[in-house]
């Protein structure tokens, strides 16, 4: 037998490294800003960096100075100008480049703000190929420039007439981020959220002004996809503002904020709000209604201001603070506010109270009508989950307190070959696969009973863990992965209809996506290109020249496991399914998924196009 060799890597003093804060941020940016991304997703790093800068300007407004913020994005360079107090001139360079340096570690300069850790703008600086900070105070100014966190110039001026405030400009470093593009829709939504939460603030984005007159009421109205059952209830008090209404669908939709920071994953304030709404309404009607019957179809928003908020990550998507301020718990604060103000509102608006009670009673009737089916379906789902061939689960879940929790996702796919390819190619830590058996049922116009009577739907909602509410959703991204052909498009529509009908919060909260897979592979002996459109194919053919070999992928099952790894990894292309008040959901579903077969057939015939490559395939 051959002698075994010791192949262990040497572990000695030379293996121990100490990184500077700048080196650590550039080596491990995900610890500070979440994922990098390329700008195609709203939580990609470039938007987090923009937000870190704007947050500082918002904090100035919260402190009563600077009612205007100007944001410009041009040629990948972002600039933010506020008219607040301006960073103290002597401390300007340190404030934007030295970790754990800032004015938010106590004292009276900042109260109930978001940026508390002295990290944000420094991370922006160190992750930018070019960064400029300029502060103007009382006719004096100081400007410092950096490249990748290293100071380049430092200039002071006196006797200038420029208004007091701070100017920050940066260009995200492509050396770290690679290719990226700003999606202005995401930036615009971020700006709108800031204005909803800060009445009296004007934000100018690329020359267009945004301002809110009604705060959270504007937010809820702007996000309603259908008319609410009653006029939204708008209540505000010291350090708290809420809006409540109900729609006609299923699920619960919440928009929660802390100190002007959007918390898409909720937290202690949202949990307290859900509990307080149910308790207050039960007491108002003197009925022991089930909280689920009260909250089904609710569309609500809550904003609170908290002293020294504690978030569960640097990206601040979930609040962990148990207290609003020392000695006052979040739960008690929200409960006291709603038990007084919501109760008063319902007493004064009897018509709203009647509509709300009818909705609760209707929810109760439907829940009881399907309770037997529901119980049996739960038992089936439990038994199947013990040996569930439909679900190849991942090891980490969205509900876990793990640094990779935000990266968790589940691919919903159809067919053994496609399911097998994704399963073999996935990262088992964060990527799960759910296999459909054929096309799912068209659920348009059906009641929630079908969720439990239909095995596919029952097992899908059980896999996602969204039966009761969204609090325990097991994956951050729910991704529909189907072929890019007619059948695949139909499955996308059927699944989207299912979520719109019964679990719209999955869409409202930005969890539902469509996986884009390449239509073509173009290669020669040296290079291989995967193309998602005719334009990309033409460009690839031009690069490969006369020796180009073109393959048209007709289905996911034709893509090898090795290739699939490329498409569901760092270079994955996803389209988020979005839902706004401008989307006539019911009308769209009725036309495309309803029983008006002849109208739909006429529409298809009038808009039919035969692509050149389809003709080639037929020949």
pLDDT for 8: 62
The predicted structure's pLDDT at residue 109: 45
| Mean pLDDT of the region 610-619 | 42
- Please give the DSSP secondary-structure letter assigned to residue 445: T
- Confidence bin at 116 (pLDDT 50/70/90): very low
Which tokens belong to 348? 């004064």
pLDDT band at 578 (very low <50, low <70, confident <90, very high): confident
Over range 404-424, report the average pLDDT. Answer: 86
- Residue 321 pLDDT grade (very low, low, confident, very high; cuts 50, 70, 90): confident
Percentage above 90 pLDDT, the chain: 42
Task: Kindly report which listed range (189-193, 465-469, 506-510, 611-615) carries the lowest average pLDDT score.
Answer: 611-615
pLDDT of residue 114: 54
Task: Count Cα neighbours of 76 within 13 Å in the Cβ-side half-sphere.
Answer: 14
> Which token pair is 29?
């940016």
Q: How confident is the model at residue 453 (pLDDT cuts 50, 70, 90)?
A: confident
Q: What interhelical angle do 268-285 and 350-369 show, nearest 10?
A: 100
Going across the sheet that includes 549-552, the strands are 528-531, 520-523, 549-552
Domains of the chain (ranges; CATH) run 21-210 (3.30.565.10), 216-368 (3.30.230.10), 371-517+553-583 (3.40.50.670)
Distance from C-alpha of 162 to C-alpha of 139, rounded to nearest angstrom: 7
CA-nearest of 600, 444, 576, 606 to 516 is 576
Q: What pLDDT is attached to residue 615?
A: 38
Has residue 386 got a pLDDT over 50?
Answer: no
pLDDT value of position 242: 95
Residue labelled with tokens 């009653």: 230
Q: In the predicted model, what is the mean pLDDT of residues 15-30?
A: 83
Residue 105, pLDDT above cutoff 60: no
Looking at per-residue pLDDT, the higher value among 265 and 56 belongs to 56
pLDDT attached to residue 428? 93
Has residue 5 got a pLDDT over 60? no
Query: What does the mean pLDDT of the chain come to?
Result: 85
Say yes or no to pLDDT of 614 above 50. no
Instruction: Pick 233 or 530 by higher pLDDT.
Output: 233
Looking at the predicted structure, is the pLDDT value of residue 3 above 50? no
If you average pLDDT over residues 465-476, what whole number do you get?
A: 85
pLDDT number for residue 518: 86
Mapped onto helix, strand or coil, the DSSP state of residue 210 is strand
**Through-space distance between the first and last CA atoms of the chain, rounded to whole angstroms:** 62
Cβ atoms of 211 and 198 within 8 Å: the answer is: no
* Residue 464: both structure tokens together: 């996602």
Tell me which residue of 80, 29, 38 sits closest to 174, measured CA to CA: 38
pTM exceeding the 0.75 threshold for the entire prediction: no
Question: In the prediction, which pLDDT does 612 show?
Answer: 45
Question: Could you tell me which residue, 372 or 199, shows the higher pLDDT?
Answer: 199
pLDDT at 139 over 80: yes
Residue 117 and residue 18: Cα distance in Å, rounded? 21
Q: What is the pLDDT of residue 609?
A: 54
Compute the average pLDDT of residues 553-578. Answer: 81
Euclidean distance between CA atoms 521 and 541, whole angstroms: 10
pLDDT of residue 253: 84
User: How many CA within 13 A on the CB side of residue 196?
Assistant: 28
Confidence class of residue 194 from pLDDT cuts 50, 70 and 90? very high
Sign of the Cα pseudo-torsion (464, 466, 471, 476, in order): positive
Please tell me the predicted confidence (pLDDT) of residue 613. 46
Q: What is the DSSP string of 448-512?
A: THHHHHSHHHHHHHHHHT-SS-STT-S-SEEEEE--SSHHHHHHHHHHHHHHHHH-THHHHTT-E
Average pLDDT rounded to a whole number, residues 70-97: 94
Among 124-138, 140-154, 525-539, 574-588, name the one with the lowest average pLDDT.
574-588
Return the higher-pLDDT residue of 250 and 334.
Answer: 334
> Which of these ranges, 66-80, 342-356, 482-496, has the smallest mean pLDDT?
482-496
Rounded CA separation 429/14 (Å): 32
- Which residues are CB-contacts of 590 (< 8 A; sequence separation ≥ 6)? 444, 596
Greater model confidence, 559 or 117? 559
pLDDT confidence of residue 415? 74
pLDDT of residue 1: 39
- Beta-strand pair 128-137/165-172: antiparallel
DSSP labels, 473-484: -S-SEEEEE--S
**Of 474, 457, 331, 439, the residue nearest 384 (C-alpha):** 457
Q: Whole-angstrom Cα distance, residue 59 to residue 580?
A: 29
């Amino acid at each position: 037998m051959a002698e075994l060799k010791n192949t262990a890597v040497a572990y000695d003093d030379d293996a121990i490294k100490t990184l500077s804060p700048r080196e650590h941020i550039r080596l491990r940016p995900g610890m500070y800003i979440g994922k990098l991304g390329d700008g195609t997703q709203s939580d990609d790093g470039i938007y987090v960096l923009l937000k870190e800068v704007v947050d500082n300007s918002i904090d100035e407004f919260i402190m009563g100075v600077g009612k205007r913020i100007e944001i410009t994005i041009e040629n990948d360079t972002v600039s933010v100008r506020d008219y607040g107090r301006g960073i103290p001139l002597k401390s300007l360079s340190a404030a934007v480049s030295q970790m754990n340096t800032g004015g938010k570690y106590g004292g009276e300069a900042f109260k109930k703000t978001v940026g508390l850790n002295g990290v944000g703008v420094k991370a922006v600086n160190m992750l930018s190929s070019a960064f400029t900070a300029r502060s103007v105070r009382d006719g004096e100014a100081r400007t410092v420039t950096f490249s990748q966190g290293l100071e380049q110039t430092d200039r002071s001026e006196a006797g200038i007439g420029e208004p007091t405030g701070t100017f920050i400009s940066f260009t995200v470093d492509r050396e770290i981020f690679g290719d990226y593009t700003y999606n202005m829709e995401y930036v615009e939504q971020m700006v709108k959220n800031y204005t909803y939460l800060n009445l009296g603030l004007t934000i100018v984005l690329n020359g267009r002004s945004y301002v809110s007159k009604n705060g959270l009421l504007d937010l809820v109205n702007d996000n309603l996809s259908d008319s609410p059952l009653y006029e939204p209830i708008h209540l505000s008090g010291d350090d708290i503002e809420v809006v409540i209404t109900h729609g006609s669908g299923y699920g619960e939709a919440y928009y929660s904020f802390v100190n002007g920071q959007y918390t898409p994953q909720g937290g202690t304030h949202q949990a307290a709000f859900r509990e307080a709404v149910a308790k207050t309404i039960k007491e108002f009607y003197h009925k022991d209604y089930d909280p689920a019957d009260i909250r089904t179809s609710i569309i609500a928003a809550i904003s609170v201001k908290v002293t020294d908020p504690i978030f569960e990550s640097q990206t601040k998507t979930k609040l962990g603070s148990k207290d609003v301020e020392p000695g006052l718990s979040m739960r008690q604060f929200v409960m006291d506010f709603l038990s007084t103000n919501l109760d008063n509102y319902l007493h004064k608006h009897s018509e709203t109270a009647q509509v709300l009670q009818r909705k609760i009673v209707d929810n109760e009737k439907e829940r009881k009508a399907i309770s037997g089916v529901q119980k049996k379906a739960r038992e089936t789902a439990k038994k199947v989950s013990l040996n569930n061939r439909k679900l190849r689960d991942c090891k980490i879940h969205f509900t876990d307190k793990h640094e990779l929790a935000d990266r968790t996702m589940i691919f919903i796919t159809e067919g053994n070959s496609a399911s097998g390819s994704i399963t073999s190619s996935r990262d088992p830590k964060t990527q799960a696969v759910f296999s459909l058996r054929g096309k799912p049922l068209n659920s348009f116009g059906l009641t929630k009973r079908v969720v439990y009577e239909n095995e596919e739907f029952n097992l899908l909602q059980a896999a996602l863990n969204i039966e009761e509410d969204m609090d325990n959703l097991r994956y951050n991204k729910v991704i529909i992965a189907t072929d890019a052909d007619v059948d695949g498009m139909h499955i996308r529509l059927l699944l989207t209809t299912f979520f719109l009908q019964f679990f719209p919060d999955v869409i409202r909260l930005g969890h539902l996506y469509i996986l884009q897979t390449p239509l073509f592979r173009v290669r020669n002996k040296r290079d291989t290109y995967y193309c998602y459109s005719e334009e990309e194919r033409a460009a690839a053919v031009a690069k490969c020249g006369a020796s180009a070999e073109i393959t048209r992928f007709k289905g996911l099952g034709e893509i090898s496991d090795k290739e699939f790894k490329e498409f569901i990894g760092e270079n994955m292309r996803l389209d988020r399914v979005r839902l706004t008040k401008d989307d006539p959901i019911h009308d769209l579903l009725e036309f495309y998924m309803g029983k008006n077969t002849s109208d739909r057939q006429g529409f298809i015939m009038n808009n039919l196009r035969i692509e050149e490559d389809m003709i080639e395939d037929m020949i």
